[in-house]
Structure 1
Amino acid sequence: MDKQLSWREKCSYGIADMGFNFYWTNIATFLLIFYTDVFGISAAAAASMMFTIKIINAFTDPMIGAVADRTRTRWGKFRPYLVWVPLPLACAAFLTYTTPSLSDDGKIVWAYGTYLAMMVCYTCINIPYNALSGVLSADPQERSTVNGLRFIFAFAGGTLVTAATPSLVHWLGGGDDKQGWQLTMLAWSVLASLLFVLTFLNTRERIAPPAAQQTKVWQDIRDLSQNRPWVALFFLALIIMITITLRTSSAAYYFKYVVQRPDLMAGFVPAYMMAAAGGAALTPLMTRYVDKKKLMMILMSITAVLSSAFFFVPRDQIWLMFTLQIGMGLALGPKSPLAFSMYADTADYNEWRTGRRATAMTFAAATFSQKLGTAIAVAVIGWLFTRLGYVANAAQSEGSQAGIVWLMSFIPAAFALLAVAIMFLYNLDNDKLTQIQSELEARKKERRD
């Protein structure tokens, strides 16, 4: 089995994550403020709806992972979803950002239905895509490189979305924000679909479960629950997603109501994304010299310090806000390629320990925790805003402004420190992974012989 992948295949795999961020970054950065300030749903109702849908969608992840693991086509297990699902996803996203004239209750029903449809479709393509990174190569360093490239494209996509979306809404809507959001999401959806097809055409699956493997879904779940490094990553993903979502979703409110410069959002989040792309690009180099576990702990500690420092930034010190944001981008950029590379390692660990492999389920259950983390973060924001008397498109009270600042500083910092503590549970180092790969390869050779 060839361990080295061509740069064409690595880049072709990675570019799909740019497409995913045409959706994900819009959802994480703009959807809540779209619901409150454009569609006209209260902050409490919007946050409650998004929390509920995230919880429901989180439970669909393992189901879709189980289906993907059991998919058999001439194109492989995971690649076909890159051409089966883009059209339904695009349609659901278009409807999510559509604002029909309905009663207050009707708006809530519409939001529930369309957002759920979009997130389920997103999961149906994203779970197999995540799993694909675990079957392109068995080499841990190649996985770090593949996922490093992937997140360079991801952050580039996020940068493009946050920088261009406000202008696209204005341009495509001609002054009508409702039409602008609808057409902007349609444009991003079409571009994403093209990238998904490109990935399908230029990648190949090389790792498969043992030919005789026949397992039930409950057995896959049981295996994961007894997989110590995977359990650690599960809670790590949950905590990190809370950390990131708190700051990302609060940033629009911070610049609109605290700094009173909403125009700065067009540069603030892209500055983070560009720095994160730089951090992701450095990941394969760093993992050559620093163990993945230690590197993750160092990065999350830096994140906690920089996030705490944000509390003390005066409202007129824009350069300092951007400096800290760029620093956090550099620190958090490597965490995604690190985590996804580690998920693939835990799939190998599971096969080594049990003789069974469930790659998609491994990644699906991991994204379960990410969505749960996002849901918790949005719920925290909605609850805090409600308690502090947030009123959309109006001057905020001192308490409301203080809450927004805490959501940008100390609260995510506390979660970042919790992520450091969780990493003490992760027990796969480079020596252990080398042993696992060697023994798995020996088993495969015995079966061939």
Structure 2
Amino acid sequence: MENKEWQTKWTERLSYGMSDAADNLVFQVMTTYLLYFYTDVYGLSAGDVAVLFIVARVADVLESILIGFMIDHTHSRFGKSRPFFLWFALPYVVFAILTFVTPAFSEQGKLIWAYITYLGLGFFYTAVNSPITSVLPTMTQNERELTLLGVIRQFCGSSVQIIVGVFTLPLVAFFGHGNKQQGFLFTIILFGIISFILILNTFFHIRERFTMPEIAHQPIREVTQMLKRNHPWIVISIVIFLFWLVTAIKNQTTIYYFKYTLNAKDLVPLANAFMFSSLFGVLLIMRLTTFWHKKQTMFVGMLIALGGQIILALGVYSKLLPVLFGGIFVNSLGHGIIVGLVSIMIADTIRYGMSLGIQAEGILAATDDFGVNLGLGIGGLITGGLFHLSGYLPNQAQNTQTLQMINLNYVWIPLGLYLLMMIVLSFYSEETIQSRTRSVK
């Protein structure tokens, strides 16, 4: 029977949620501005950056599996997931700062530096992010409490996503005084220090309470067999990949659209401010899941995101800013519902795996970072690759083909991906999870 008692207090809940805020301070800068930083500030070609992104994401996919394996084979007095916050917080912040250092190397030297720092950042991001998901089902056995913890996590993460979107470029201008290299570096140092403090706070205040020692450290062969049978995990893994693919493509293209199509780069912070509606989406989850299952709630989020993308398309082609900003608002509302449910549904697949006789929260939680990394990598490849093929030249007026590619990335590819996400989600069987996990304590 499910435990109806609530096991966490508000200090622990908020500390858990702030772990995602900590990671997002760096992660959202990387997702939204790193392509722009590499091409327009650091001076790398769009083609080189596209290759870097796909190489980094392939490495990160492998690293997600490695970190998941490490979590599942960790024996410590702090638990399996929790010590990763302590071990990897400092290296994560150090590599975040190094990624935005701009040494005066040759063109080849700059590219090598970008590979070393960005690949290192990807590894340590996975090391501090995977435990956020893997630790969740060990904190409580109460399903509503799991949902609350997931909502708090995503509310904190989405809040920071908005803060980064709105304040990064103004901070770059404030710290740089016209020197974008200096501006980006000082901004990431500020974000990195805050991130380090918040990650350590999570380590000190959360607890792993519920594990099943007899099935907690299984051989990789047994874990692999469980993964093949865990169909809900396979489906949600594909959904996560598609979500981060569309997020990467849209976020990376935003600054190019406003800079080169509208000739209004200063409007980027204002446009990103309309993403605050994602917070409403996250908060709606607790209400919506009282009368809908999580799958149905996520499907509603996808419908809202699709509707917002259609409104955004109308704004793009009419060049009416109120319509464009309205599309961003509606789309972000749907995004909040989708992403807020991700870690909660992964926790369900972890519990489902336990009902199959394997507690492998590390490997199963790696889905989140696996999907993030693969989605960002392919998204970066698509965006940077299409720009390169269209003849993109940084800090110059773009040709007609490049402007068309910007619209393709900002409008049409996301529309297709939202539809594909909805089709994939239809194969998720929540009833199967519920029928089996009722017996898992």
Q: What's the TM-score, normalizing by structure 1?
A: 0.94
Q: Report matched runs for 1:357-376 at 5 Å.
A: 357-376=359-378
Q: Is contact 1:245–1:377 with CA below 8 Å preserved after alignment? A: yes
Q: Is contact 2:309–2:331 with CA below 8 Å preserved after alignment? A: yes
Distance 1:349 1:93 in 2: 35
Is 1:96 paired with 2:99? yes
Q: State the 1:145 CA deviation.
A: 1.0
Q: Is contact 2:314–2:324 with CA below 8 Å preserved after alignment? A: no
> Equivalent residue for 1:446?
none
Distance 1:213 1:165 in 2: 42
Which amino acid in 1 is paired with 2:323?
A: L
Which amino acid in 2 is paired with 1:391?
A: L
Q: Is contact 1:12–1:198 with CA below 8 Å preserved after alignment? A: yes
Q: State the 1:60 CA deviation.
A: 0.8
DSSP-derived class of the 1:396 partner: coil
Distance 2:417 2:17 in 1: 29
Distance 2:411 2:139 in 1: 39
> Equivalent residue for 1:259?
262
> Equivalent residue for 1:17?
20
Q: State the 1:213 CA deviation.
A: 4.8
State the Cα RMSD in Å.
1.6
DSSP-derived class of the 1:135 partner: helix
Distance 1:218 1:124 in 2: 23
Identity %: 27
DSSP-derived class of the 1:440 partner: coil
Distance 1:217 1:417 in 2: 35
Q: State the 1:246 CA deviation.
A: 1.1
> Equivalent residue for 2:286?
284
> Equivalent residue for 2:423?
421
Q: Report matched runs for 1:1-400 at 5 Å.
A: 2-211=5-214, 213-272=216-275, 274-313=276-315, 314=317, 316-353=319-356, 355-400=357-402
Q: State the 1:20 CA deviation.
A: 0.8
Q: Is contact 1:209–1:358 with CA below 8 Å preserved after alignment? A: no
Distance 1:424 1:167 in 2: 42
Cα displacement string for residues 308-362 of structure 1 (whole angstroms, at most 9, x for unaligned residues): 3323324641111111101011111011121111101011111112x11101110
Q: State the 1:58 CA deviation.
A: 1.1
Distance 2:49 2:297 in 1: 37
Cα displacement string for residues 115-138 of structure 1 (whole angstroms, at most 9, x for unaligned residues): 001111111111112211121112
Q: State the 1:214 CA deviation.
A: 4.3
Distance 2:389 2:59 in 1: 25
Which amino acid in 2 is paired with 1:49?
A: L
DSSP-derived class of the 1:282 partner: helix
Distance 1:167 1:328 in 2: 24
Cα displacement string for residues 406-425 of structure 1 (whole angstroms, at most 9, x for unaligned residues): 21112111011101000121
Cα displacement string for residues 221-263 of structure 1 (whole angstroms, at most 9, x for unaligned residues): 3321321000001111111111111111100101001111111
Cα displacement string for residues 267-308 of structure 1 (whole angstroms, at most 9, x for unaligned residues): 212321x11111111111111111111222222133223213
Q: What's the TM-score, normalizing by structure 2?
A: 0.95
Q: Tell me how many residue pairs correspond in the alignment.
A: 437
Q: 277-286 or 296-305: which moved more?
A: 296-305
Q: 159-168 or 41-50: which moved more?
A: 159-168
> Equivalent residue for 2:439?
439
Cα displacement string for residues 391-447 of structure 1 (whole angstroms, at most 9, x for unaligned residues): 110111122112211211121110111010001211123xx5444343113xxxxxx
Which amino acid in 1 is paired with 2:310?
A: S
Distance 2:270 2:167 in 1: 10
Q: State the 1:212 CA deviation.
A: 5.7
Q: State the 1:99 CA deviation.
A: 0.5
Which amino acid in 2 is paired with 1:119?
A: G
Which amino acid in 2 is paired with 1:277?
A: L
